[in-house]
């Protein structure tokens, strides 16, 4: 995961822009009438997120578009405000949608760091938390795989995942992702989570949920397959085992400086510490 700065957008400005995209004047007035309530919700969201308590935000019922979630505003109307006034092109809210989409460096998904950003993920799903549909702090640029894998669940203390805008820097600073090279006919990388002993239990649980829910073990293994083949071709050009070890360690240092818990860093760590692989095993990939 790559942490991102929270969008430098005022929630009330984004909310007002989306309202300006409505063609129904009566509905527009109803949304404007609750502006103060919405501002209070946005402040409450930040408070909970900063203290790792977003699961305390009250969820709405699944489905039930007609459910009143804030006085005089239905759940379906909040969802439509996002879908029709923020996502749709040529609407006033679309500029803010695009700004959040572009906030991910090189348009790489911050959840998996391999996929291409193609959508905005509602960290608290609009299926259960529709009144947060247009809140910038609740909108994360994401790839389709991560958005789908994360799902539209009601948040609880047990199923939380790291929030790219609010998570502690320990998720990037400390090593928690590991890999091993499986010595089979065509070697592959097997990924797993090793939670640091000094981490608080809730942080470890969030990372474990994130790794499982986004199917990162399988996705990272697929990504690593191509790198293992490239690695093998390069190692084959080196005549001494010491040179192969030095090369793998140099690559490990470079990857570790770039992203400590990317799919590539534990792959090079595994390769540099696997005598079977760097002596003869890599040749199976040629």
Spell out the per-residue pLDDT of the chain, length 286, in tens: 999 999 999 999 999 999 999 999 999 999 999 999 999 999 999 999 999 999 999 999 988 899 999 999 999 999 999 999 999 999 999 999 999 999 999 999 999 999 999 999 999 999 999 999 999 999 999 999 999 888 778 999 999 999 999 999 999 999 999 999 999 999 999 999 999 999 999 999 999 999 999 999 999 999 999 999 999 999 999 999 999 999 999 999 999 999 999 999 999 999 999 999 999 999 999 9
Please state the domain extents for the chain: 11-150, 170-285
d(CA 196, CA 174): 7
pLDDT on residue 63:
84
pLDDT on residue 264:
98
Q: In whole angstroms, what separates CA 209 from the centre of its chain?
A: 12
Q: Go through 115-150 and write b for each residue having 16 or more CB atoms within 10 A of its CB, e for each that does not.
A: bebebbbbbbbbbbbbbbbbbbbbbbbbbebbbebb
DSSP, residue by residue, the chain: ----PPP---HHHHHHHHHHT-S-HHHHHHHHHTHHHHHHHHHHHHHHHHTT-GGGSPP--SS-TT-EEETTEEHHHHHHHHIIIIISTTSTTHHHHHHHHTTSGGGB-TTTSSSBP-EEEESS-TTT-GGGTT-GGGEEEE-HHHHHHH-SPPP-TTT----TTT--THHHHS--EEEEEE-SSS-EEEEEE---TTS-HHHHHHHHHHHHHTTHHHHHHHHHHHHHHHHHHHHHT--SHHHHHHHHHHHHHHHHHH-TTSSHHHHHHHHHT-HHHHHTGGGGG-
pLDDT on residue 151:
75
In terms of Cα–Cα distance, which of 220, 223, 277, 224 is closest to 248?
A: 277
d(CA 21, CA 40): 23
d(CA 226, CA 231): 9
d(CA 61, CA 2): 32
d(CA 215, CA 144): 13
The sign of the CA dihedral 154, 156, 159, 162 is positive
d(CA 136, CA 230): 40
d(CA 139, CA 119): 10
């Amino acid at each position: 995961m790559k942490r991102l700065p929270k969008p430098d957008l005022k929630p009330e400005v984004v909310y007002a822009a989306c309202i300006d995209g409505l063609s129904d004047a009566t509905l527009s007035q109803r949304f404007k009438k609750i502006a103060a309530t919405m501002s209070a919700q946005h402040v409450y969201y930040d408070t909970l997120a900063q203290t790792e308590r977003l699961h305390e935000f009250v969820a709405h019922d699944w489905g039930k578009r007609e459910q009143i979630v804030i006085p005089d505003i239905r759940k379906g109307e909040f969802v439509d405000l996002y879908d029709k006034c923020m996502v749709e092109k040529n609407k006033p809210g679309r500029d803010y949608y695009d700004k959040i989409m572009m906030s991910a460096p090189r348009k790489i998904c911050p959840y998996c760091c391999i996929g291409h950003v193609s959508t905005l993920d509602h960290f608290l799903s609009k299926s259960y938390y529709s009144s947060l549909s247009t809140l910038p702090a609740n909108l994360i640029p994401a790839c389709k795989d991560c958005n789908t894998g994360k799902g539209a669940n009601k948040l609880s203390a047990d199923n939380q995942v790291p929030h790219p805008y609010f998570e502690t820097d320990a998720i990037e600073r400390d090593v928690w992702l590991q890999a091993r090279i499986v010595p089979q006919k065509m070697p592959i990388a097997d990924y797993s989570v090793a939670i640091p002993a000094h981490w608080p239990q809730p942080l470890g649980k969030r990372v474990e949920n994130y790794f499982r829910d986004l199917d990162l073990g399988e996705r990272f293994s697929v990504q690593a397959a191509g790198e293992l083949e490239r690695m093998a071709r390069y190692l084959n050009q080196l005549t001494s085992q010491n040179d192969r070890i030095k090369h793998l360690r140099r690559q490990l240092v470079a990857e570790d400086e770039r992203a400590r818990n990317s799919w590539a860093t534990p792959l090079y760590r595994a390769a540099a510490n696997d005598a079977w692989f760097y002596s003869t095993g890599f040749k199976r990939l040629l």
